[in-house]
Structures are given as C-alpha cells and as structure tokens.
Amino acid sequence: MRNSRDQETAPIAAPRNGSASNMFRSFGSLFGAGGGNGGGTESARPMTPQSSDGYVEFGMQDPERSGRTLGTFAGVFSPVALSMFSALVFIRVGYIVGNAGLYVTLLQFLIAYAILLFTVASVCAISTNGAVEGGGVYFMISRTLGLEFGGSIGTLFFFANVVGCAMAISGCTEGIIDNFGPGGRFVNEGGAHLPDGKWWRFLVSSGINTSMLLVCLVGAALFAKTSVLILGTVTICLFATYISFLTVGATNDTIPVPVVNTLMNATKFLPYTGLSGKTLRENLGSHYGTDYTSNYKNVDFSTTFGVLFSGVTGIMAGANMSGELKNPSKSIPWGTLSAVCFTFVSYIILSFLMSCTTPYVTMQNNYLFLMPVNLWPPFTAIGILTATFSTGLSNLIGSSRILEALSKDQVFGSLLNFVLRGTWKGNPICAVVISWVLVECILLIGSFNIIAQINSVLFMLSYLATNLACLGIELTGAPNFRPLFKYFTWHTCLVGLLGTLIMMFVINPIYASSCIILCLILVIALHLFSPATQAAQWGSISQALMFHQVRKYLLMLDPRKDHVKFWRPQILLLVSSPRSCCPLVDFVNDLKKSGLYIIGHVKIGDCNGVEDAVENQQWWSFLDHMRVKAFTEVTISRSIREGVQHLIRLSGIGAMKPNTIILGFYDNEAPKDFFQNGTSPYKTDGFNEGDALSFPIRRDGEPKQFEVQEYVQILCDTLRMKKNLCLCRNFQRLDKNFITISKHVKYIDVWPINVFNPTSGDPFDMVSLFMMQLAVIMLAKWKHLRVRIFLCETNEESTVGTFDTQAPQMDIFSKLKLEQTLKELRINAEIIEIQEWSRNSDFTRHARILRQFTAQADEALLDDGDEIAEDKFNHSLLYMQRVNQIIRDRSDQTALSFIYLAAPPKPSLTDFSDRSASYIELLTELTAELPPTILVHGVSTVTSTTL
C-alpha cells in the first residue's frame, strides 16, 4: 500500500497512434489503386466549430477535398450490379436451368437472394451506424467483431477475392477458347485458331491474369471510373439476348457442339426451338446430367447452387467503395438494394426465356449457346469478355487492398510489413503481385465450376461473419448502435446467418468445414499473438457480449444461496508497490483456485490532479506483464487504514466479494525491486521511464509510510468485517521455477497450533481447518510436493493456571482424531508429532505469559509494573525464538509454511500502541529466517464432510 503524497506516478507511453481513418488512408476502394486519398475522414484533425469551407468539423471534411467524389449510381449500383452479373449471366445460367429445371432454378435464386437480402440488411445497418472509412466490408467486420474475428474473416475475405478473380478469369478463358478455338464461332472452317487443351487454357488464363496485373500496376484508377460504361455495355448485350430469344425463329441445327464436349462428338448440332410451350414444359423439371468441363462429373443440386451463388456474390462491391463515396451511409443501402433487385429481375427473365426456347439437352452440352441464338453474336462475346474481365480485375484489386489493410493494421504483427514496404505512390505493388501469384495457383484447378464452389463457400463465410457482427451488436443492446437503416432486426440477422451456414454445407461440406476450421485457427492465433493496442482501438463485440452475459449471471448469483461445499477463496491482496511483491502476486494467482482475485492499492491524498486513466493503464500493464488472472482496485483516502477499509468493503460486485484478505508482513527489510533485478524472472524495463518509475518503491533507509499501530488496526478491521486474514512473509525468497524442478524441496507444512495460547484443540478449530484447505489448494498446483501437518502436544491445563513440572502423556486420541478428520476431509497428509510444548516447563509458563498479547487477554494482567511487564515480554521473545528454532529445524525441505495467526490485540485496550508493537515483534521472531510463510487466521467454515 503505497503512500503517494510526495510521489507522482510517471505517465506511461501513450498507445500507438493510428485511428481507423489513418489506418485506411491509402486503402482506397475496391477499384481504386493509388493516390492514397480513399481513406475518408481525418479523425486526427483538431475539432473546431466550423472550418473555412463551411463544414462543421466533427470529424468531417469536404467530400470533394477528401477524395470522396462518387455518388450512389457510379459508386455503388454500378460495381454491385457488374459484380453480380460476372461470368454467370452469359455462360452459366443455361447450365443451371438445363440441369436443375426452371422450378428448382427459381427456388435456388430465391434462396440465394434471400440470403443476400438479409446480409444486405446487416451491411446497411452497420454502414449507417457511423462513419465508414476505406476498406468496406473488412473495415466493418473488423471494427465490429474486433481484432480476432475481424482479422480472421478479413484474411478469408482476401482469399475469397483471389478465388473470385480466378473464377472470372476461368470464365473469360472459356469464352475466348470457345469463340476463337477449334470450331469457334469466329473461326472460319480450316482457318487459324487458338489451340485447346488443359495447359493451353491455363496459358490463356495466365495471359489474362498478367494483363490484369499490368492494369493494377498502371491504370486501376482509370478502370474505376469506367465501371458505369462497362455496366452499360453488359446491360446492352443482355437486352440484345432477351430480344434474340423473342425474335429468332425455330431451327434444329443452329447450336454446334463444343469440341471439348467429347461425349457429344457424334452429334454435331444441338436443337433450338425458339418460343415453345412444349420446350417450357420439358424444362420445368430437373434433368441432372454431367459436366463436360470438369471430367464429366455428375451434376446435382449442390453443384448448380454453388455455381449460381458464385455469380451473385458481388453485394459487397458497393461497401468496398466506401472510401470513395460522398455519403456512404446513404449510398451503400440504396445502391446495393437497387442493384440486387435489378440483377434478380434480370436473372429471372433470362431463366424463363431460356426455359421457353432452349431444350435442356442443348443447355447441358453447350454452356455458350447464347452466342449462336443472338441476333448479332458479337453481343454475347462482348458481354462475356467485359463482364468476366471487369469482375476478375475488381477482385484482384480488392484482394490486394485487403492484404494492404491487414498489413497496415498489424493484424499479423510484423509478418506482413514487407507489403507496406512494397508500396509505391499509394499503390501496393507487393500486395498486387502476391494476389497475382495466388490467382495463378487457383487457376491450376482448371474447371470453372469447381472454382465457383470454393468461391461460393468463402464468400458465404464472409456473409456469415457480417450477419454475426450485426446480430452480436444488436443483442448487446449497445446504446451507440443506432443505424439509420431501420429495416432489419436481430431476426433478419439470425436468418441470414443460419441460411448462409446451412447453404455452405449444402454446396460442399468439405470446403465449408475446411473454411470454418481455418477461420477458428486464425481467431485463436490472433487472440494469442495479436497486439492488444489494436483491439483496444477498434473495440470488440466479444467484450460487449461478455458484459451482457456477465451482468445477467451476476444478478443470478445469489449470496444467500452460498454453500460451504462450493467455497473457494476470493482474495483481496493489498500491495504497496508492485515492484516489491511480484512473487507474492504470482503465488496468490495460484492460491485463488479459480476464485475472485483483486489486487488492491491505497494512495494517500485527494482526487485533485489524479489521472485515473493513466493509473489504470499502468496497473493493467502490470497484470499483462505478470500474466495473472486478476482485477485491480486503487483507492485514494486520507490514511492507509481508511483506504483499506474502503477496499475491503467495496471491492467486488454482487456475490463476488472478497472473503480472504492477504497482506505483506510489517518488517524493516528493504523491499527488493523485481523489475530491475537481473536474476528476477519478472525483470522488465516496461515500467521505467527515464529516471522516473511508474511504481515507486521504498528504498533502503527510507521510513515507512505508516506506523505499526495502524498496521495492526488494519488486521483488527479485517477480522471485525468477518474476513479471513493472511499475512505473508519471506516471499521475496519464493522461486516457483526452483520448487518445480528441485528434488530437495518436498513439503508444504501446516502448523495448526496457536503459539500464543496453545491447546490440544488447536488442530481442529476453524483456523487450522482453513490452513489445511489452503495447503491442499497449493498441493494441486505443486503436485510433486506433500503436505505435512505438525501435531503439537500441549498441556491443556496450563491455560487455566495449573502447571505440572512433569510432561503429561501424549493424548493417544489426538493423532487418531486428526487422522479421522483428514480422512473425512479427503486430505492426504503426513502427521508429524511435536512434543516440546508438553515436555518443556518453560513452554507452558511462557504460554501463560503470552496470553496477554491476544485479543482475549484479561485486563487484570495489565496491572503489572513496567519492569515486570518488560520481563514478561523478554521471556515471550525467548519463547518465540525457541518456537522459531523448532520450525526452522523441520523446514529444510519446505517450500511453503502455513502458521496459525493469533488474533491481534483489540484497539480498545488502553496500551494498544505498546501491545501492537509487541504483537508484531513477536510475530517477527516467530517467522524469522523461515521459508515463504503465511500466517493464517480464519473466521469462516471452509471445509465440508458432507456429500
């Protein structure tokens, strides 16, 4: 308990600077590459009532000056719609309808878009609850779920974008080879064409991937500005396809069989009927066949849904543009919802027209049949190339920006620092190259449909995390969660979460399980190794959920229902300076037995000029350094005693209140600084700031901050408040590592005899049983040690003034009774008999003298003269020295000793000051040169023999 009247605590270093906006200043958007102006607001700017440009400065800037120039249509609707069309709209809708049938296809679209709508509701809720900086989905998930979940989901979202890029490139390659390869639409018979084959397709895909790499390195910002034009091109090509279905007449030989489809080589052409009721009826049901692009694997519901969902995973594209939007909280909801509705209607119309005009055999065996039936076939070719190339490029840029954000956030510590060093003019060159290499690896899979399933599972996992984030923050009831988007509840979040989780396993249980396991591994790794400063800056939904649940269970924890069978120590350890009590703090952490552990400290003074935030930060850092599971309580009062009373009465909450108070011993030894001792396992420079110490310590020769009388008063207060009391001495000698490895140290000793007033009943009273309980708790930590209980033979008649010069016979029943008690308490201990108290007449005589120093002393004994009193005290010191010698002789192999603590003298006594000094001096002699020792006085029953 440190007196800080003349000592000021040095402030510790401030947390690493880095607001959310600073972290993402150069993140840009999913499409933006350079300039570093996509990071949104500058939260570090001073807050003034109004800036020169008229904007109220509450963390806001002029959108034009901060680089936010995109509106709802260009910034959200266009990228979302374009990403949701991707490769699906021109090359895989026919595959789905031809195998699953119109009914199942419509059902799959309904399921997919229902999941999307619920997820969009969660995205809109989060994005309208505060300023969304650059980083989009990763930003929202990480800042809502916290570092562990946000970092792990962000990592998987990075891989999802990589796989999405590979899927789009695979679709683009398929369109190129089928148009310009053998038998291609734009190849004359017998003319030059692109070669076909697995490795030729990989070569073409690599060429497309490399061209995307060059665009990312040179002109990605230009591509971002052309997204509206690209969407317009894709939409025109799609409407041309609709018109073609309605105008092209019925023919039977217009659809050629692709060369790669070897099963249909005997049939050169596939039928196409045009608008036909018969064709519609045939296409209503399912006709699952084989997939000629993936070694003719059988097609089923899960494979078709996996391909379908992979094409509509672009709902996050608008949120990823948050760093470029003028008004993210408005643009993201409206732009995303309108794009979802637009693409849903487009897909439903396309599916219905295909079912009415094209037999399922044609759709199963030629995935690019839209080109031959188009009024102008280049429309389909242009649509395929623009949709797939733009989607692949956006995913490549997005994956590189997410990797850059993970590096900036130091999610994996210094592991990704090379990504930041590889940035040039705001463009993360190194991140782009890494993404490009990973895309190349995914392209080795070859089949579009297989890559699509992996892509679907990864994106579904990110959607699951988004719904989880919104559900968690909604259930916590956090007052600051007030989204402007009102069309959501925790029900929509839960339905979206469950729907996503179920459909992940429907698509592919192996992929789904692998992704979830990988996510959990990342969560655990980030929890163990990630920097705590980031978690503190971001906030974590886990903290809010834990607060919500802990408060509920604390209210359910009724102290009136406490039972001794389930007693456990709930400890308040009072410390002066953490520097001098590291071994004791570490030891009590083992002694608490999963109970409450509070480290208390008293500062002398008043509240003026006290920096609580800095003080608390220092103590939290101390707990982190010691790696103990404890709370800290620091109080300010006019005296040490008053402060300790505050801590004992007010520490804890509800039924979780301290029942055991532990203090250091009051002696004149100079404290040892374990932070600066070179051989100390607790050595650290983390609390040294120049010449100042974060936790001041009393140096050798400096006076104590309070007197022995106040110390004894604190002991009396503790017992008066019905708390168990422990005084710890010699713990500066405790070496847990040595105890663990040493073969010499073997015992935990218990001395259940009140040396101030020894009786034969001592081993069975409340204090002794409490000591045995504590010894057994420590035995669970030091399993290689054994408990020894010293049964001390006493002359009980000496307590009433009759002394016999002959030592009485040992009570033969005492040992048997103690053995029976230990058996009933399930305590395995060795009983050692000590006979000095009964066979030495000095002991019996000194026992009577010592009675005057107990709280139950007879006032009549105080009438002796000073010389007589001094003589009695000298005899008492000799007695204590003899007891100390008895204990020392048997402590050579002892790791820890528990000794019976007699109650201190009552403060109401007239000579309390003298008695206090005598009491402490006697205890000092009792414990001198012993191993780490705990003087114990219990006031409550802590053991039970009943079931």
Residues 493-536: tens digit of each pLDDT = 999 999 999 989 988 899 899 888 888 888 788 777 665 555 55
Burial class (CB in 10 A: 0-12, 13-18, 19+), 826: exposed
Q: What mean pLDDT comes out for the span 442-468? A: 86
pLDDT of 128 higher than 80: no
- The per-residue DSSP string of 239-263 comes to HHHHHHHHHSPPEEEEEEPPTT-GG
d(CA 49, CA 47): 7
pTM of the model: 0.68
pLDDT range class, residue 600, cuts 50, 70, 90: very high
pLDDT range class, residue 46, cuts 50, 70, 90: very low
Higher pLDDT, 623 or 465: 623
Bridge partners of 724, per DSSP, are 660
d(CA 489, CA 277): 43
Q: What is the pLDDT, as a whole number, of residue 702?
A: 78
d(CA 73, CA 323): 15
Over its C-alpha atoms, the chain yields an Rg (Å, rounded) of: 39
Tokens of 17: 């600077």
List all residues 6 or more positions away from 156 whose beta carbon is below 8 Å from its beta carbon. Answer: 458, 461, 462, 515, 518, 519, 522
Distances (CA, A) of 538 to 18, 22, 90, 148, 815: 10, 13, 42, 11, 62
Helix or strand run (H / E) with residue 600 = strand 597-604
Residue from 525, 209, 603 nearest 393 by CA: 209
List all residues 6 or more positions away from 171 whose beta carbon is below 8 Å from its beta carbon. Answer: 86, 87, 91, 92, 384, 388, 448
Q: What is the pLDDT, as a whole number, of residue 40?
A: 35
d(CA 937, CA 917): 19
Burial class (CB in 10 A: 0-12, 13-18, 19+), 265: exposed
DSSP strand pairing (660-664 vs 724-729) = parallel
pLDDT of 849 higher than 70: no
pLDDT in tens, 264-280: 766 778 888 888 899 99
Residue from 916, 896, 898 nearest 906 by CA: 916
Type of residue found at 908: S
pLDDT of 864 higher than 90: no
Residue from 343, 360, 428, 415 nearest 112 by CA: 343
* Span of 118-122, 199-203, 853-857 with lowest mean pLDDT: 853-857
Helix or strand run (H / E) with residue 688 = strand 688-689
pLDDT range class, residue 373, cuts 50, 70, 90: confident
pLDDT of 16 higher than 60: no
**H helical segments located in 248-359:** 277-282, 301-310, 328-357
d(CA 238, CA 231): 10
pLDDT of 586 higher than 80: yes
Type of residue found at 594: S
Type of residue found at 275: L
Distances (CA, A) of 478 to 474, 475, 545, 546: 7, 8, 10, 12
Q: Report the chain's terminal Cα–Cα distance, integer Å.
A: 41
DSSP tag of 656: B
Higher pLDDT, 784 or 192: 784
pLDDT of 95 higher than 80: yes
- The per-residue DSSP string of 512-569 comes to HHHHHHHHHHHHHHHHHHS-HHHHHHH--HHHHHHHHHHHHHHHH--GGG--GGG---
Q: Using an 8 Å Cβ cutoff, are 392 and 168 in contact?
A: yes
Q: What is the pLDDT, as a whole number, of residue 565?
A: 84
* Span of 125-134, 655-664, 919-928 with lowest mean pLDDT: 125-134
Tokens of 128: 């309208």
pLDDT of 323 higher than 80: no
Assign 194 to helix, strand or coil: coil
pLDDT of 816 higher than 70: yes
Residue found by looking up tokens 């030592």 in the block: 807
DSSP strand pairing (724-729 vs 933-937) = antiparallel
* Span of 254-263, 354-363, 640-649, 790-799 with lowest mean pLDDT: 790-799
What the chain holds in terms of domains, given with CATH numbers, is 75-533 (1.20.1740.10), 564-673+704-795+809-856+865-937 (3.40.50.12370)
pLDDT of 291 higher than 70: yes
d(CA 499, CA 442): 27
